[in-house]
Amino acid sequence: MNKSSFKFEVIKNIIMKFTPEHYSIPDKPMQPFIDEEEIWGFINNTKSSHEKVKKIIAKSLEKKRLTLEETAVLINADDKESIELIKKGALQLKETVYGNRIVLFAPLYIGNRCINNCVYCGFRTENKDAKRQTLSPDEITNEVHALEDSGHKRLILVFGEHPEYSANYIADTVRHVYTIKKGKGEIRRVNINAAPLDIEGFRKVKESGIGTYQVFQETYSEKAYSQYHLSGPKSDYNNRVVSLDRAQEAGIDDVGIGALFGLYDWRFEVMGLVRHANHLEACYNVGPHTISFPRIKDASNLNVPDKYLVGDSEFGRLVAILRLAVPYTGMILTARESPIVRKEVMKYGVSQIDGGTKIELGAYSKSRNEQQNLEKEQFLIGDSRSLDQVIEELLDEGFIPSFCTACYRLGRTGEHFMEISVPGFIHNYCTPNAMLTLAEYLRDYASSSVKEKGWKVITNNEYKIESNTQKAQLKDKLERIKNGESDLFF
């Protein structure tokens, strides 16, 4: 057996040890994998009890991914005691796998031209009130400079679906963003949220050095999907549901999935997300790097029935269930939510949030904050606080704000990431790297109150490093950062 084959078998054995023994639907690359009847069968026919909930949480805390049936048990647990147990278990699992760090990023909207007609989106082609714009290279530079001035190191570039935003255009934009520096500022990771591409298109974007490529299914119900996506390429349910298979075939092993909660029954969407994770693992030995769970928010000329809107209580519950169901995956909570909701839901296993968010094209470089204009934005955001304000609250809540990009830059992605994240070894990197990137932020960008709180949090977390060797290395790196060095990591 050659070295490559041996490595594959080792990774496969590790993954299979922590995943269910079988999948109820045979998985094949490029084939739709959602069986609505099967999912509803689990939801409607799976009985839940407090004892079952406790056993399933115990399994998840061993970092073993849950089956659809086990996920349905958690979904059907509707007594207060079980729901609280699920939420506490989710936080415990997140801290076991990733530590108490929260990764920060910012969305940067590049263009809002779109040929799709999705009834929930302010960018839809039939919305004649929308102000269409694509940022020029100089405008992108101005936006990135503003983001760097606030301390950001990680961006997700957002594009509408339009012939103008081809794979070549996306790749060129990514390369341009990586070249933009200002003072000590630099962007170290660029993720993408854009339309699905063909395999060759995904290859071109990969070559530009992206991190994660996000494609959200919006709703996993094909019937509901057709009601919301009236025309345009996005109206093809099957093409979208297997789009990240094409990304994997193109070599992009860092993908993000998501559902837009409020389009269909939240229980079904949770099961759909878990099923999608199952599928990616079964076909590629790599689950999703992130799961996102945005809720429907107001948008220009929004026309969505309120039948499936998700309340705050249900929202926190579904986030906790997702965390327990897919232990190794990053969980993204966006600024669609209010500061109050974010503060609460952060306790249920969230690992990434955006901060200092603006979604109007060109808004970061404006000298002052303006009231949101839905004719220029995709939806209404709920948290418009500055990055520094978001970081201060994280510190007050005992989290370590992180701008870490080490795994991506050292090649710890895809199967390599699964190899260390599934058993829980990733914790050994996340906590010290979070402290190092926080130290950079405190030195270069933080307000005086945040600087004081931040160094206290770092000091209080240094002792948690289990390895004496790593602890000594961390102290050395922190001192070097204080003395002006940057971009140090494990």
At residue 2, does pLDDT exceed 60? Answer: no
Average pLDDT over residues 88-95: 94
Check residue 21 and give its pLDDT: 36
Coil vs helix vs strand at 139: helix
Average pLDDT over residues 24-50: 89
The domain segmentation of the chain, as residue ranges, is 95-421, 427-482
CA 4 to chain centre: 30
At residue 256, does pLDDT exceed 60? Answer: yes
At residue 24, does pLDDT exceed 50? Answer: no
CA 45 to chain centre: 31
Compute the distance between CA of residue 481 and CA of residue 490 in angstroms, rounded to an integer. Answer: 14
Check residue 463 and give its pLDDT: 83
Which residue has 């600024």 as its token pair? 335
Of residues 75, 42, 40, 37, the one with CA closest to residue 56: 75
Q: Which of 12-16, 108-112, 183-187 has the lowest mean pLDDT?
A: 12-16
pTM of the model: 0.90
At residue 321, does pLDDT exceed 90? Answer: yes
Average pLDDT over residues 353-381: 84
Q: Which of 15-19, 145-149, 354-358 has the lowest mean pLDDT?
A: 15-19
- Residue 316's alpha-carbon distances to 160, 220, 335, 337, 340, in angstroms, are 29, 20, 15, 12, 12
Percent share of the chain, pLDDT over 90: 77
Helix (H), strand (E) at residue 228? helix 222-228
Check residue 134 and give its pLDDT: 97
Sequence-ordered list of residues with C-beta below 8 angstroms from that of 68, at least 6 positions apart, any chain:
24, 38, 39, 42, 271, 274, 275, 278
Report DSSP letters for 195-213, one per residue. ----HHHHHHHHHTT---E
Q: What is the mean pLDDT of the chain?
A: 90
Coil vs helix vs strand at 163: coil
353 near 333, Cβ under 8 Å? yes
Sequence-ordered list of residues with C-beta below 8 angstroms from that of 452, at least 6 positions apart, any chain:
none
pLDDT band at 25 (very low <50, low <70, confident <90, very high): low
Q: What pLDDT digit, counting tens, does each position of 188-201 carry? A: 999 999 999 999 99
303 near 278, Cβ under 8 Å? no
Of residues 25, 101, 128, 19, the one with CA closest to residue 67: 19
* Single-letter code of the amino acid located at 143: E
Check residue 421 and give its pLDDT: 61
Q: What pLDDT digit, counting tens, does each position of 415-428 carry? A: 666 656 655 566 67
Sequence-ordered list of residues with C-beta below 8 angstroms from that of 158, at least 6 positions apart, any chain:
107, 108, 109, 110, 193, 194, 359, 378
pLDDT band at 378 (very low <50, low <70, confident <90, very high): confident
pLDDT band at 3 (very low <50, low <70, confident <90, very high): very low
Percent share of the chain, pLDDT over 70: 90
Average pLDDT over residues 57-65: 92
CATH class of 95-421: alpha beta
DSSP state of 1: -
- Residue 298's alpha-carbon distances to 229, 341, 381, in angstroms, are 17, 16, 9
